[in-house]
Chains A and B, each alone.
Chain A
Amino acid sequence: MATLKAMTHADLTDLLGKAMLDADLRAKLASEPATTLESLGFEPNKSSVQFFQLLQKNGFDHAASQVTTTKTHDPIKLAGDM
């Protein structure tokens, strides 16, 4: 089995960006954070699992927490925000 790596902030940014565009990945991270992180090659440590559990409380899996914005020409759009 390949060695699992600690998830860095850059990894997390990337993962959140992908998850915002991928309902399936979101659902998996929300319902099974430990196994999903592991399957992606990350150590499912207590902190990262808790992190996704807390996000789930605010509707992460169905992206109910979208921030609405009128800034439609933002040079760097947040994935999934518009």
Chain B
Amino acid sequence: MRARRVGFAAPPFSALSYPSIGLSLLKAALHRRGIASDIHYLYLRFADRIGAVAHDLIVSSETYHALVGEWIFAPFIDETPRPGWDTDLSYFTDVFAAEYPDHFTHQRVHAFMLARTHAEAFLEACMTEVDWSAYGIIGFTTSFQQNTAALALARRIKRRHPETLIVFGGANCRGEMGVELLRQFEFIDVVCTDESDITFPAFAEEWLDGAEPPYLPGLLRRGSPHAETLAPSLVRDMDALPYPDFSDFFTQHAVSDVARRYYPPVALFETSRGCWWGEKHHCTFCGINGLSMAFRSKSPERAFAEIATLARDHGTDLVNVDAILDHRYFTTLLPMLAELPEALTVYYELKSNLRPEHFPLLAAAGITKIQPGIESLDSGILAMMNKGVTRLQNAQTLKLAAEYGLYVEWNLLRGFPGETTAQYRDMLSAMRQLIHLQAPSAFWPVRADRFSPYFNNPAAYGIRVEPNAAYSHIYKFSPGATRALAYHFQIVSDAPGPSGTVLSEVAAACAAWSERPVDAGLTMADDGETIEISDRRPGWPAATHGIGGIEAKILRDCWRIVSVRALSAAYGLEVVQAAVTRLEPLGLLMVEAGNVLCLALRNTRGTAPDWQAIRDRTITAPVWPDPPAVAPAPKPAFATASPPSSGHALPGSHPPLAPPHRERAVSLPAEG
């Protein structure tokens, strides 16, 4: 008789503030079928063993691609670690120090070593502290750096409880990676190679009832009587998904010494899957959507109800896990969120081709931390990656986000095949102009993740892709098998790239940008006649510019991107050219391809607000300017893709876009 209960394991390493949304959805889906389950947040337990500082250093995004978390548990995938594993320093000398020379410090190494010396005892503790025999099925989630800990524990559980079915799922099991996991690790019985919201609960019910589960697409089973394929079983009706059940996470977080002290728990929510942009123009480096790029989203009513419920149950700080915001939500979901009695603080990923009217809507809805995928400040490089935005659009996003009190998370990426020194020289001058806005978090080499166009068709880009060097220190298989298990790949190209000198200069400019003084702003005060611009940006002469006449009108019009043609229609070409020729060298205007943007902020702060000020809700948006005298710039042809209609009924009872004259104050009550 199989135990009619499912156990789930969320192994190290993962961010301590967040639950596993995948497992929490499966828990809720199993509950609908009358099957009880428990999620064991083992990454919280491991953090308690090694401490917050060591955990921070291991999961740090600064050194993410060294895959330290995978290295830590790698020897213990085998129950008897490989001979010589604990005297081998080649991972440090050949991988970590080579890839992250500036981060190869005694303190980091000590943290990594400390974690490794705890790993085996931790696995044994997991075996004794959890009664795995209570479960007929044990499911492991593995994304990012959870593979080796998952494998090490699964092997131990299977040896002691051979009757239990071991199931693997998560991003590390997608496609070929899942096939290889099943091939290499005999203790895994089933792999979910893509979305399994529908298939896993159906499989579990049959299995736990002692029946022979039918063929289920995307679910690979050892010794299956069916011919199986990798074709995923995608969730088409997102509204049919249950609300995730985070109860296990919040209970376990509350008793984790490290997590409760330093990492406030935050509920996650999902409103869509896939990417509407990637369906048509797949960004060349992006593998995040795996085999399921098809964009699907929840109806606004359903999304709203779920968000409101999560906020009521788990607090108003919420993190969205979508790859990209459904643009239809600007007129549906966002106005609904803005009417909630308690203000939210929400993180969302979206596309940088935002229109100016989107910013107050985001702020009013509480979507105050955004990741718009800026990636570069050069339009040529952005085109190479198929990003569908220009430098000027990225600049407008940074500017309007600063004005409306939105925190922008973004990175500069380098290493795109075909990029040149001249492009980075040009980028340096753009960075100098934008230094009062949100700084990039990092200047990183672009990767060719599995499922990306670079990975799928490297020859088309004149490159080769190789698994990250760390993988050969993690898995001791043939190169082919290691490649099949890998998700992160690096680009290898024989073509000459930008000079090392210019890349060093950009790296230095990034560092200077993030360290700029808090008052290093570019502000614009307007009495209706004269505009006074105060420039305190580093790298520019401190100056106050009094600007009147038509130049002032042009500056007012350029609060968002406007075409020179439209300005010329209003003021005459010669006048506009003269104004642009005078104001651009002062760094007040950014000009590109016949379009213009004023860079000064319409407030007294003049810089991007820091996260604390945004959280404290002290940022008040600018008064919406007078109706523009000229039409905004037309959208570039490649930025016009809009999400496909999925037939959602749009509610008529919610407010339309805010009228242009309404003051969109986002000074909201502080949380208690």
Contacts and interface: CB of A to CB of B under 8 A. Distances in A.
A78 to B, nearest CB: 5
Interface in B163-183: none
Contacts of B50: 76
Nearest to B105: A65
Interface stretch (B108-116, B230-238, B543-551, B621-629): B108-116
A55 interface: yes
Contacts of A71: 51-53, 56, 261-262
Interface string A1-26: 00000111110110011011000000
B110 A16 contact: yes
A17 B48 CA distance: 19
Interface string A27-58: 00000000000000000000110110011011
B109 A55 contact: yes
A9 to B, nearest CB: 5
Contact of B114 (A6, A55, A78, A80): A78
A76 B89 contact: no
Nearest to A63: B106
B54 interface: yes
B148 to A, nearest CB: 15
A54 B49 CA distance: 28
A75 to B, nearest CB: 5
B93 A77 contact: no
Interface in B113-158: 113-114, 116-117
B663 interface: no
B87 interface: yes
Given A71-B56, A74-B51, A79 B262 contact: no
Contact of A67 (B57, B116, B117, B262): B57
Interface residues of A, number: 36
B116 A58 contact: no
Given A10-B86, A58-B105, A75 B51 contact: yes
A59 B258 CA distance: 30
Contact of A75 (B105, B111, B257): B257
Contact of A20 (B48, B52, B110): B110
B54 A78 contact: yes
B342 to A, nearest CB: 28
Contacts of B90: 47
A76 to B, nearest CB: 4
B107 A13 contact: no
B104 interface: yes
Contacts, number: 105
Q: SS class of chain A's interface: helix, strand, loop or mixed? A: loop
Nearest to B102: A58
A69 B113 contact: no
A9 B51 contact: no
B106 A60 contact: yes
Nearest to A65: B105
A58 B103 CA distance: 8
A61 to B, nearest CB: 10
B53 A55 contact: no
Interface in B42-81: 48-54, 56-57
Contacts of A19: 106
B203 interface: no
Between B48, B57, B113, the greatest number of chain A beta carbons within 10 A of the residue's beta carbon is seen for B113
A12 B111 CA distance: 11
B87 A65 contact: no
Contacts of B104: 54-55, 57-58
A50 B262 CA distance: 36
Nearest to A66: B107
B525 to A, nearest CB: 37
A26 B320 CA distance: 46
A16 B116 contact: no
A35 to B, nearest CB: 18
A17 B86 contact: no
Interface of B: 48-54, 56-57, 86-90, 92-93, 97, 101-102, 104-111, 113-114, 116-117, 257-258, 261-262
30 contacts: A8-B86, A12-B113, A13-B116, A19-B106, A20-B106, A50-B89, A51-B89, A51-B92, A54-B93, A58-B101, A58-B105, A58-B106, A59-B105, A60-B106, A65-B107, A67-B57, A67-B105, A74-B258, A75-B51, A75-B52, A75-B257, A75-B258, A76-B50, A76-B54, A76-B114, A78-B51, A78-B53, A78-B110, A79-B110, A81-B107
4 closest cross-chain pairs (CB), A and B:
A76-B51, A65-B105, A13-B113, A6-B87
Given A20-B107, A51-B93, A76-B51, 18 more contacts: A6-B87, A7-B87, A9-B113, A12-B109, A13-B113, A16-B109, A16-B110, A20-B110, A51-B92, A54-B93, A55-B104, A55-B106, A58-B104, A65-B106, A71-B56, A71-B262, A78-B54, A79-B110
Interface of A: 6-10, 12-13, 16-17, 19-20, 47-48, 50-51, 54-55, 57-60, 63, 65-67, 69, 71, 73-81
